[in-house]
Amino acid sequence: MGWLTEQTEHDFSATGILSGGRGFEYRPQQQLMATAVAAALENRSSLLAEAGTGVGKSLAYLIPAIRYALEHNRKAVISTHTINLQEQLFHKDIPTVAKALGVEFRSALLKGRANYLCRTRLRRALEQATDLFNQAETKQLHDLLAWSRDCGEGSLADLPQELDISPKVWAQVCSENHVCTPRNCGPECPYQAARRRVDEAQVVVLNHTLFFGLLSLADEMRQEAPLLDEEEIIPSFIFPNDFIILDEAHTIETVAAHQFGTVLGEAELKYDLLRLYNPHTRKGRLRQLATPKLLQFIEDAQTATDEFFRCARLDCEVDEHQGTVRLRRAEWTEDILSPSLATLENEVKQMAEVQENELTRAELLDVQARLRSYRAAAKELISLTNADTSVYWAETGGQERQFTTLRSALINVSDLLREKLFETGNTCICTSATLSTGERGMSYFAGRVGAENAETLQIGSPFNFAEQMRVIVARSMPPPPPASEEDAYTPALFDWITRSLDESDGRAFVLFTSYNLMRRMAGLLRPYCTERGWPLLVQGDGQDRSRMLQDFKQQIGSVLLGTDSFWTGVDVPGEALSNVIVTKIPFESPSNPLTEARMEDITNRGGNAFRDYSLPEALLKFRQGIGRLIRSKTDHGIITLLDSRVVSKFYGARFMYAIPAAAPRDFL
């Protein structure tokens, strides 16, 4: 046992550094996890740590990680899936650790570049306002100018709500690669200041999407990184001399699959081209540089974009009814987009080369880089370049599903993550309440992400589920039918939901796997809830998730209907949530292209797609869903299972086993 492990064991003891804190309670589970994290750091090894709700995972990894980072002059990188946990770590848990350790260190919250104001681009936008904006948008620019003089960190999160800055205006003033540089902007620029904070920080907090996006660029970033002044160069992830802790790690397979994929969005491309020059308003960021040839090339690219996506929709038969279509055949549509983008890109490049004004040249280089990225994406998504390892699809979006997006994702990330995360000779720690399917061992998760050789640790929750939780299983509920036959099933589901809501006096999450069924049930439940004075909150009714949760917590008695994003990462301790109603076992829809491709991959390798993928994925999500209920020692409530397959099907016992064993069960 090394110094850090011994110190950590004492830190989390009954007389350790936390013992004097308000509300401290010695938890052997927390101590066990913390010492395992310390050992992984000392051994530069990987660790998978599953720890149930109430263990205190955040402090269990933060304290040894920060001690280690300070002792060895290394950077601790903490990545989460949800904004809520990110904010909790940065604003609550890290200051708690600093106070407990009695040391000073720097921490930083890392966000994408586009989240930060760039004063240079703001100044340029004001100079070009007549070419870029209408009167209302110009007023927003002046509002931003006034705010920029005292804007805190200068990020979108700091913007006062009353400013109401449009995405179009923000896109013209946020940081971009070539313009927003130390040379052009200086140290006071919000993005440059944020970058400096991250460079100087011993602890950096970010989200999984940004982490895996940066990891996908890691080789390029390392070439630009300064050499470390030490004899041994430790392999790094996204910063020189770093190590990584991935909290809410149950999501990393899918996040990584998408971040190592490719996207070409119709709405985004059209928006960017109109930013260059809008022929209707005669405004745009290149208006001042406009030559007849340049304006023609921009309009040609806009016309090609319209025609390309129109033809693409017809060729792959995606529309507002068939919302997602798998792309299986290379050259499935004609590439009428890349040539016009290449022509425009080349013209912009030539303009940049002869431009004497450094800022203007930088702006042109940013434009060129974006055009090059769009062109490369179009070529890959039409030719299906990596069809042996990636899945490709088209999907519609927008309020009326009028825009098409082409996407690819990596089917199997295990080889990639094994190489980039788990067998680098550096420390990678994954933790979550659900890294297993409810049984001993984490072989399923480890195999999916390439962590087969990582150390593992499973720790149960310290909560008293025998006293705090009761499980009701609707054995008499008819089994879920195909979507086309749900009309006969809906009345029975409504009866069971209302019966359960009456028992908990509202105060419930009702979790669905189908958006359409949720909307249909919302229509039936609205008058019922109104009659009883229960506010009904429905996902998709115009509020974002954070606002829905805030209203749910404040309005005791509320009933919240949610789909995918409410099964995980939601924390509502206290009396506001006393009932979690699971309408169906959360099997992934095989119509999801990535799910379908993963199942095909397993079958082609000789496996069983249901046993080896569908069932364990459903178990992980099921455990996440029921985990929303008991979030503190004082919580009490009901889990209501309205899918009779948990008792009628051969696999049902796996779901019953995934529920805390001590919780009493009623079968009705």
Q: What is the pLDDT of residues 29-39, one digit of tens each?
A: 999 999 999 99
Q: What is the pLDDT of residues 212-237, one digit of tens each?
A: 999 988 765 544 444 333 334 457 88
pLDDT band at residue 482 using 50, 70 and 90 as cut-offs: confident
Given a cut of 60, whether residue 451 has pLDDT beyond it is: yes
The Cα 640–Cα 578 span in angstroms is: 11
How high is the pLDDT of residue 486? 67
Report the share of the chain in percent with pLDDT over 70.
96
How high is the pLDDT of residue 89? 93
524-544 average pLDDT score: 91
Given a cut of 90, whether residue 521 has pLDDT beyond it is: yes
Task: Identify the CA nearest to 256 among candidates 28, 418, 129.
Answer: 418
The Cα 58–Cα 94 span in angstroms is: 9
Task: Identify the CA nearest to 497 among candidates 583, 555, 585, 584.
Answer: 583
Task: Order the strands of the 262-265 sheet from edge to edge.
Answer: 262-265, 403-410, 390-397, 324-327
Question: What are the beta bridge partners of residue 80?
Answer: 207
Hey, how many other C-beta atoms are within 10 angstroms of the C-beta on 656?
A: 15
How high is the pLDDT of residue 668? 87
How high is the pLDDT of residue 188? 82
pTM: predicted TM-score of the whole model, two decimal places: 0.90
Given a cut of 90, whether residue 418 has pLDDT beyond it is: yes
Q: Where are the domains of the chain?
A: 3-17+26-106+202-224+241-256+413-437+455-459, 113-193, 262-410, 465-667
pLDDT band at residue 168 using 50, 70 and 90 as cut-offs: confident
How high is the pLDDT of residue 219? 60
Q: What is the pLDDT of residues 641-651, one digit of tens each?
A: 999 999 999 99
The Cα 204–Cα 197 span in angstroms is: 9
548-560 average pLDDT score: 92
The Cα 336–Cα 319 span in angstroms is: 20
111-118 average pLDDT score: 87
Token pair for 481: 């039918």
Fold classification of 465-667 (topology level)? Rossmann fold (3.40.50)
Token pair for 448: 């999916």
| Inter-residue contact 186 to 289 (CB < 8 Å) | no
How high is the pLDDT of residue 189? 86
60-64, 367-371, 493-497, 588-592: range with lowest mean pLDDT: 588-592
Helix ranges, 384-418 (H): 414-417
41-56 average pLDDT score: 94
The Cα 304–Cα 338 span in angstroms is: 9
The Cα 585–Cα 580 span in angstroms is: 13
pLDDT band at residue 135 using 50, 70 and 90 as cut-offs: confident
Report the share of the chain in percent with pLDDT over 90.
60
For 125, 158, 492, 507, the CA distances from 144, given in Å and listed in that order, are 11, 12, 54, 41
DSSP secondary structure, 181-217, as one string: -HHHH-TTSHHHHHHHHHHH-SEEEEEHHHHHHHHHT
Fold classification of 3-17+26-106+202-224+241-256+413-437+455-459 (topology level)? Rossmann fold (3.40.50)
Q: What is the pLDDT of residues 291-332, one digit of tens each?
A: 889 999 999 999 999 999 999 999 998 876 678 999 999 999
269-273, 393-397, 484-488: range with lowest mean pLDDT: 484-488
Size (the chain), residues: 668
Given a cut of 60, whether residue 75 has pLDDT beyond it is: yes
For 11, 412, 423, 451, 463, the CA distances from 455, given in Å and listed in that order, are 22, 22, 12, 9, 25
Mean pLDDT of the chain: 89
How high is the pLDDT of residue 398? 67
132-153 average pLDDT score: 85
470-480 average pLDDT score: 91
492-502 average pLDDT score: 95
Residue, of 482 and 352, whose pLDDT is higher: 352
The Cα 431–Cα 353 span in angstroms is: 49
Task: Identify the CA nearest to 436 among candidates 216, 188, 620.
Answer: 620
Q: What is the pLDDT of residues 274-300, one digit of tens each?
A: 888 888 888 887 877 878 899 999 999
Residue, of 77 and 162, whose pLDDT is higher: 77
Same fold for the domain at 3-17+26-106+202-224+241-256+413-437+455-459 and the one at 465-667?
yes
